[in-house]
Structure formats: C-alpha cells, structure tokens
Structure 1
Amino acid sequence: MQREEKQLESALEAIIMRVNDLKTAIASMIIKLECEYETLNWPNFLDNFAIISGHLTSLSKILSHDKALNLKHYTVLPLHLSPEKDEELMRLTENRISTFAHDLVPDYLRTKPDPQVEQKLLTYEAKVNTLNFDQANEFNKQVQQYNKVLGMVIDAINKNREEMENETKSRTTQMQTSSSADTHALINAVCNGKGLKSDVQMVQSGVNPVANNMLVGRLAGQSQTPGQGPMVGQMSKAPSAIKTNIKAASQIHPYGR
C-alpha cells in the first residue's frame, strides 16, 4: 500500500506540473488576445497555440505511460462540505473557488459531460449510425472537396506571403548609386590636382584649356576655408595666338610735360 501511495503521489505531482504549465500557456494566450490584439499577428498566435499543443501532448504521454497509475480506478469524494469561506481552498484554487458547498460539488467533481452536452452527443452518434453506405460516401466526398478547397486557399496564402517577403527584401537591399573610388579620385583632383593634364596635352587632345582651368579654379575656390582669398595665382593663363605690341605709356601720352 505504501508503494502504491508513493507512485500515486509522484504521478499526481507530474500531472499537476504539466497542468500548471498548460494553465500558464492558456493564460498567456488569453492575455495576448485581450491586451495585445492590435499587434498580435498570425505567426505569434500559431506559436502560442503550438506551445499549448505541446503541453497537452506531454500530459497525454504521462497519462498513457505504462508505469503510470490508471486514475480510472480511483474515485474523488468530498470529505467536508461547508457553505463558509475556506482560505485554504482559495489558496489552492488561486482565489477561483471560495466555498465547497453542496450546489458546487457536482460541477467541480464531474467526471462526465454536462447532461445537455451528453444528450447532444448521443443524438449525433445515433444520427451517424443510421447513415447508409451511399450517404456516408457522399459525406466523404464533400469532406475531400472541402479539404481540396482549403488546400488551394492555403497554397494561395503561402504564395502571396512569399511574394510579399521577397518584395520586402528587395526594398531593403537598395542598389548602389555611387562609387567610392571615383569620389576619392575627384577629391584628389580638386584639392591636390592629382590626375589633371597640362595645357599642352589638353590642346593636343582637343580639350578647351580655358574652360577647364576656369572649372578647376571654381572648384578650388569652393574648397577653400572661409577667410581665404580666391586662388587667382594658381589658375594658369590661357595661351593666346594673337601677337600684341604694347608701347610704353610715356610715348603715347598726348599731354607731354
């Protein structure tokens, strides 16, 4: 008897642990449905539902294990009924049950469904048993057709989800619109004159040196810090093909002294 009692206690402890885990998962699901319904999405809901399903599977394995005691051989009987408030009962039930009275015991210790529910189940079972082969085959075809439609809907949803995910990924990965090598080369050309050709080489290659020098002068003037004057001396003069003869000012002055 002592060994059997110890086995019963250990089995009940394991069952209570699994039931508490299941209760916590269900409470978390209810909180998310009531408080986080605006941000709750379908994948998170399925994850929580999978957690609940896992706890139910663990509980079923414990109950169906060979070494587990068959709880059907045991009966729960109320030892004390009282309409008064019971603090220990409230602690054990997390303030859900305050009294263990005569009108509540049939509901709390019920091992069968509610009489109305049981009557409906019996009605459905009797209706199923009266079906002939043709009617059962027709219902089977309807179920298969319904499953086919559901499969098509699921495939369409998965396809749209993949397209949305691919579109989101393509938006996040933007195309490169600049080259760091070209940027450094342009900065070295403007600030240090690196890579610029001489006037003679530019004339031979057909490039207008005046316009190029003016452009380089503007870029160099913009790169100066505030307070510095324009870089006039750094600008090279354009070669002139016209010969000029400039006389002294004293020779052409009309009013001699």
Structure 2
Amino acid sequence: MQREEKQLDAALEALILRVNDLKTSIGSMLFKLEHEYETINWPTFLDNFALMSGHLTSISKMLSHDKSPALRSLTVLPLLLSPERDEELVRLTENRINTFSYDVVPDYLRTKPEPEVEHKMMQMEHKAANLSFETAQKQVSQYTKVVTQVWELVSKAREEWESESGSRSGANQTSSMADTHTLVAAVGMGKGLVPMVQQQVAAGPPGMMVAPVGRPGAGAQQPGGPLNPNQPVPMGPMGKAPSSIKTNIKAATQIHPYGR
C-alpha cells in the first residue's frame, strides 16, 4: 500500500511539472498574441505551437507508461467545503479560485459533461449512426476534395515563396565595400586625391592685342564707319593710342650743313 502511494505521489509530481511547463508555454503564446500581434511572424507562431504540442505529447506518454498508476480508477472527493476565502487555495490556483464552496465543486470536480452538452452529443452520435453508407462516402469525398484544393493552394504559395527567396539570395552584387571605404576616405580625408596643377599662360610681347573670341570680323570697325564706344581701342607701341590723322612721311634729302 505504501509502495503504491509513493508511486502515485511521484507520478503526480512529475505530471504537475509537465502541466506547469505546458501552462507556461500557453501563457507566453497568449502574451505574444495580445501584445506582439503586429510583429509576430508565422515561424515564431509555429515554434510556440510545436513547443506546446511537445508538452502534450510528453504528458500523454507519462500517462500511458506502464509504471504510471491508472488515474482513471481514482476518485477525487472534497474533504472540506467552506464559503469563506481560502488563501492556500488562492495561492495554488493563482488567484483563480477564492473559495471551495458548493457552487464551484460540481464544475471543477465534474467527471461527465454537463447535461445540455451530453444531450447534444447524444443527438450527434445518433445522427451519425443513422447516416447511410452512400451519403457518408459522398460527404467524405467532398471533404477530401476541399482539403486537396486547400493543400494545392498552400503548396503553390510555398513554392512561389521559396523561389522568390532563392532569387533574392542569388541576386548579383551591385556594391563593393572596398570601393565604398575608398570613396569615404577620399571625400572625408582626401586620401588618394592628386593635387591640381595650375597651367601658366605665356605672356606675349608688349602691345600685342588678343582677338576677341567669336566670329571673325564681328567686332572689327569698318573703314570709314562710326566708332563703337563699346569696342576696345587698339593700343599702339608704348601704350599710346594711334592718331586718326593720316600722314605721309617721305624721306628728306640729306643737306650738308656747310653747303651753299
């Protein structure tokens, strides 16, 4: 008797630990759905769901183990019912149950569904039992058709998603980190820049006039035409302006100062 009680206590303790792990996983997932629903993605949701599924699988294995006691053969009976607040009960149930009274005991220690739920389940079972084989096969085929269509849509979307992600990962590289660092060093610190060489213009002889750039003869003064005030006056030797009076200088005959 004592050995069975020890096995029961050990099994219940291990089961309580697994249930607490499952409860923690469910609580964290509910917190993410309520507070991080804008940033949560599908892989994260699947990871949390897989974690909860793993906890449920471990609990099922523990209950179906050979050394685990048959909990279905055990009965839970309330030892004390009181309408007053029980602090120990509040701590054990994490503020979910304040009192262990006649109102809550039938709901928490119920081993069968409620009468209304049990009546509806019996109606559904009776309807399923009276269904003909041909009608059942027709409904099964329709259900299979719907599931197949949904599976094809999901598979197609998955293939497109994988192809798009593969094309993005295999795209040609359009930038170079070495060139970027070289450009930043050149702009920020002048590294690698060649200094500009100033070209000196050769000076011409004094009085040399540089013709204006443009059409030849566009700004030149025609002989006998009016003088353009905006046109620069050509400078002669020694920086003097040439006279506008025409002179004819002839060579004079050399005369001896003592000649008669």
- Work out whether the TM-score is over 0.5: yes
Distance verdict in 2 for CA 1:176–1:34, change over 3 Å: closer
TM-score by length of 1: 0.68
User: Which of these two proteins has the greater Rg computed from alpha carbons?
Assistant: 2
Distance verdict in 2 for CA 1:220–1:45, change over 3 Å: closer
Residues 163-204 of structure 1 show CA distances to partners (whole Å, capped at 9, x for unaligned) of 332344256x63357997xx9xxx9xxx99xxxxxxxxxxxx
Shift of 1:115: 2.4
Match of 1:175? 174
- Alignment of 1:31 onto 2:31: yes
Contact 1:220–1:231 (CA under 8 A) maintained in structure 2: no
Q: For residue 138 of structure 2, what is the amino acid of its counterpart?
A: E
SS state of the match for residue 131, structure 2? coil
Aligned length: 198
Q: For residue 108 of structure 2, what is the amino acid of its counterpart?
A: Y
User: How far apart, CA to CA, are the structure 2 residues paired with 1:115 and 1:153?
Assistant: 42
Shift >3 Å, 4+ stretches: 176-180, 219-222, 230-233
Contact 1:221–1:231 (CA under 8 A) maintained in structure 2: no
Q: For residue 135 of structure 1, what is the amino acid of its counterpart?
A: T
Match of 1:123? 123
Match of 1:68? 68
Match of 2:248? none
SS state of the match for residue 99, structure 1? coil
Match of 1:55? 55
Shift of 1:231: 5.6
Q: For residue 17 of structure 1, what is the amino acid of its counterpart?
A: L
Match of 1:199? none
User: How far apart, CA to CA, are the structure 2 residues paired with 1:101 and 1:164?
Assistant: 61
Match of 1:21? 21
Match of 1:210? none
Match of 1:214? none
> Percent identity of the aligned residues?
52
User: How far apart, CA to CA, are the structure 1 residues paired with 2:98 and 2:149?
Assistant: 50
Match of 1:88? 88
Q: Which runs of 5+ in 1 are unaligned?
A: 193-218, 223-229, 234-245, 247-253
Identify, as 1 or 2, the structure richer in helix: 1
User: How far apart, CA to CA, are the structure 2 residues paired with 1:89 and 1:178?
Assistant: 64
User: How far apart, CA to CA, are the structure 2 residues paired with 1:113 and 1:52?
Assistant: 25
User: How far apart, CA to CA, are the structure 2 residues paired with 1:56 and 1:179?
Assistant: 53
Distance verdict in 2 for CA 1:231–1:31, change over 3 Å: same
Shift of 1:50: 0.8
SS state of the match for residue 67, structure 1? coil
Shift of 1:119: 1.9
User: How far apart, CA to CA, are the structure 2 residues paired with 1:57 and 1:96?
Assistant: 26
Q: For residue 67 of structure 1, what is the amino acid of its counterpart?
A: K
Match of 1:100? 100
User: How far apart, CA to CA, are the structure 2 residues paired with 1:35 and 1:154?
Assistant: 28
Contact 1:25–1:48 (CA under 8 A) maintained in structure 2: yes
Match of 2:220? none
Shift of 1:104: 0.5
Distance verdict in 2 for CA 1:164–1:10, change over 3 Å: same
Distance verdict in 2 for CA 1:179–1:82, change over 3 Å: closer
Contact 1:82–1:101 (CA under 8 A) maintained in structure 2: yes
SS state of the match for residue 75, structure 1? coil
Q: For residue 100 of structure 1, what is the amino acid of its counterpart?
A: F
Residues 54-88 of structure 1 show CA distances to partners (whole Å, capped at 9, x for unaligned) of 11000000001111100011100000000000000
Greater CA drift, 71-80 or 115-124: 115-124
Distance verdict in 2 for CA 1:56–1:177, change over 3 Å: closer
User: How far apart, CA to CA, are the structure 2 residues paired with 1:32 and 1:134?
Assistant: 46
User: How far apart, CA to CA, are the structure 1 residues paired with 2:47 and 2:150?
Assistant: 21
Contact 1:11–1:69 (CA under 8 A) maintained in structure 2: yes
